[in-house]
């Protein structure tokens, strides 16, 4: 098992990558923009970090408001073909105007994509989204039927996700992957689950472990212990070596000896560096996975582009995070205090991947 | 050292540069998507974000029939079954190649691999070595089989001598 130790080759690689990371921070070229178009959802998953459900009080952001930001703030300052817009929720498909939104951003030269739980993704709906310019999609698929349905809280969710994936495979040229949130119930059956995904013709797979936020915060049945986490890392490393399915661990967390071996890139937190989000209430922040209050402005009050250029200091300079358990950490220079989504409102670290590898 | 050189060095060290150039590592697998390479001297493209999606590969998307999609899945399954043996061979070759590329730790004289250590541990060892310089450290004597001779108590030594004498008498008989 790899654990925390970094070999010399990896240390050199990480140092090189670190300097590139510094350049990326300095330039902060916007590459991904999340539009949190709704917090409504047709499920109420146990692990939802955004606490999404059917009865939220926040109204959906009108499409026109988002398009105004694109037209007045973003498009004049970037090349639209180099920016990926991700429609985010909640469950995006609860909105009936997603096709209109897709057509509008496509018309402006942007690529767009979305994540879905598959519940509302019929063959017809998918084809209308593709016709509206959908270029990339991810489907949540959390394990065998009992496991998936338990997490999603719906007896039909597994079958609907499976069907959604089959419809996606009928679209040539549509980039997609399948996301699995690995829970203790699945961790011993990962090999079986992998074989199942391969038998379904899935070629691209992403694995998350669940971080303690939102509804998942106090549910211990969802969190992997250290031994399970290490088992997961070994599984991913082995699967990547096999080469039968393209598997990546999520972008979060510095992974010590597993860096460069369980995903296609070294760890870096892109929130506020190349990624911004416009929340359903107009707040401007990093990735939508950042649920603590690191809001940098609001589109109904501030210039989005000015906020992007002149604020986001807390995301771009992480020295403030060099405290607590990070203060004496030997891998601080590579980790920089972990992903922003793992910091609470007080800046305290909620979860450390590196420590799990001890 | 400019960014492009750093990216090139990373590649030479055997690390994927997907975060640097936006292209996906092939991984030796059959994949119906050919990723578009976004030339860049900076990083941050290509990393798939939490709650995000993979970067589109640039091809236009168009529907195919259900039958065609099913046929493609079946082809993947058939290829999987037919090349199981080849995967094993390929895996072995990739592992060997990986070890070569990694230029990992040289094996010790007894064939075991030296465990990688951190910089701090390396620095500490060097410090210890420096402070021990000049002191003779003969260490325990080596037995013919290579194991270190340990210090025996008088009772154990007497027991061993008795065993050796008994074996010698046996051999003479």
> pLDDT by residue (tens digit) across A261-312?
999 989 999 999 999 999 999 999 999 988 878 999 999 999 999 999 999 9
In the structure encoding, which two tokens stand for residue B31, read together?
């994949």
What is d(CA B47, CA A266) in angstroms, rounded to the nearest whole number?
A: 9
Q: Which residues, other chains included, contact A291 with Cβ-Cβ below 8 Å and sequence gap of 6+?
A: A49, A50, A213, A214, A341
Do A16 and B10 lie within an 8 Å CB cutoff? yes
Binned at pLDDT 50, 70 and 90, residue B91 comes out as low
Using the beta-carbon criterion (under 8 Å), do B47 and A265 form an inter-chain contact? Answer: yes
**Chain-chain contact of B53 with A84 (C-beta, under 8 angstroms):** yes
What is the DSSP-derived secondary structure letter of residue A272?
Answer: T
Whether residue A129 contacts residue A98, with contact meaning beta carbons closer than 8 Å, is answered with: yes
CA B55 to chain centroid: 29
pTM for this prediction:
0.78
ipTM above 0.85, yes or no: yes
Instruction: Check residue B33 and give its pLDDT.
Output: 38
CA distance A312 to chain B (A): 17
Chain A residues with beta carbon closer than 8 angstroms to that of B87 = 242-244
| Closest residue of chain A to B67, computed from CA coordinates | A170
Contact A173, A214 (CB under 8 A): no
Q: What is the mean pLDDT of residues A168-193?
A: 96
Q: What is the pLDDT of residue B36?
A: 33
Chain A residue with minimal CA distance to B76?
Answer: A201
Q: Read off the DSSP letter of residue A332.
A: H
| Statement: residue A53 has pLDDT above 70 | no
A138 vs B15: CB contact, 8 Å cut-off?
A: no
Chain A CB contacts of B4 under 8 Å are none
Cβ distance A243 to B65 less than 8 Å, yes or no, reads no
Cα of B23 to nearest chain A Cα, Å: 10
Tokens of B127: 């410090």
CB distance A172–B62 less than 8 Å?
yes
Distance from CA of B130 to the nearest CA of A (A): 22
- Give the span between the Cα atoms of A1 and A231, in whole angstroms: 9
């Amino acid at each position: 098992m790899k654990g925390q130790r970094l070999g010399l080759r990896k240390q050199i690689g990480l140092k090189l990558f670190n300097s590139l990371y510094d350049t990326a921070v300095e330039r902060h070229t916007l590459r991904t923009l999340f539009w949190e178009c709704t917090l409504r959802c047709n499920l109420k998953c146990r692990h939802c970090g955004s606490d999404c459900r059917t009865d939220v009080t926040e109204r959906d952001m009108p499409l026109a408001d988002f398009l105004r930001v694109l037209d007045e703030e973003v498009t004049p300052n970037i090349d639209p073909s180099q920016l990926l817009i991700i429609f985010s929720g909640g469950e995006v498909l609860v909105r009936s105007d997603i096709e209109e939104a897709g057509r509008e951003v496509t018309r402006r030269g942007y690529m767009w994509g979305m994540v879905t739980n598959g519940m509302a993704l019929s063959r017809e709906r998918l084809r209308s989204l593709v016709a509206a310019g959908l270029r990339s999609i991810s489907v949540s698929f959390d394990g065998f039927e009992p496991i998936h349905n338990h997490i999603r809280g719906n007896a039909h969710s597994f079958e609907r996700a499976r069907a959604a994936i089959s419809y996606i495979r009928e679209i040539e040229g549509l980039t997609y992957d399948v996301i699995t949130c690995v829970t203790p119930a699945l961790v011993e059956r990962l090999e079986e689950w992998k074989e199942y995904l391969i038998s379904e013709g899935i070629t691209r797979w992403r694995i998350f472990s669940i971080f303690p936020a939102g509804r998942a915060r106090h549910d211990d049945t969802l969190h992997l212990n250290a031994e399970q986490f290490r088992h997961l890392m070994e599984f991913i490393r082995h699967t990547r070596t096999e080469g039968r399915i393209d598997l990546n661990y999520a972008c979060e967390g510095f992974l010590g000896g597993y860096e460069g071996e369980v995903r296609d890139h070294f760890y870096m937190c892109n929130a506020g560096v190349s990624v911004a989000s416009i929340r359903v209430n107009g707040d401007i922040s990093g990735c939508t996975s950042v649920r603590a209050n690191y809001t940098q402005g609001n589109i109904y009050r501030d210039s989005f582009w000015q906020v992007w250029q002149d604020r986001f200091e807390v995301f771009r300079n992480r020295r403030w995070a060099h405290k607590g358990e990070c203060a004496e950490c030997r891998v601080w220079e590579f980790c920089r205090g972990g992903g922003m989504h793992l910091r609470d409102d007080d800046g305290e670290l909620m979860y450390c991947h590196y420590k799990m590898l001890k | 050292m400019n960014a492009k050189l750093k990216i090139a060095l990373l590649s030479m060290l055997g690390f994927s540069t997907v975060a640097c150039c936006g292209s996906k590592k092939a991984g030796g697998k059959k994949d119906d998507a050919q990723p578009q390479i976004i030339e860049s001297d900076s990083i941050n493209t290509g990393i798939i974000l939490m709650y995000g999606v993979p970067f589109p590969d640039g091809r236009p998307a168009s529907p195919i029939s259900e039958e065609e999609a099913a046929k493609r899945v079946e082809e993947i399954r058939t290829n999987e079954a037919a090349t199981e043996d080849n995967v094993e061979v390929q895996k072995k070759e990739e592992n060997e190649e990986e070890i070569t590329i990694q230029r990992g730790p040289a094996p010790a004289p007894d064939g075991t691999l030296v465990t990688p250590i951190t910089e701090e541990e390396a620095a500490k060892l060097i410090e210890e070595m420096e402070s021990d310089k000049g002191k003779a450290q003969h260490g325990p004597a080596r037995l013919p089989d290579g194991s270190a001779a340990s210090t025996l108590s008088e009772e154990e030594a007497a027991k061993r001598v008795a065993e050796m004498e008994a074996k010698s008498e046996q051999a003479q008989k």
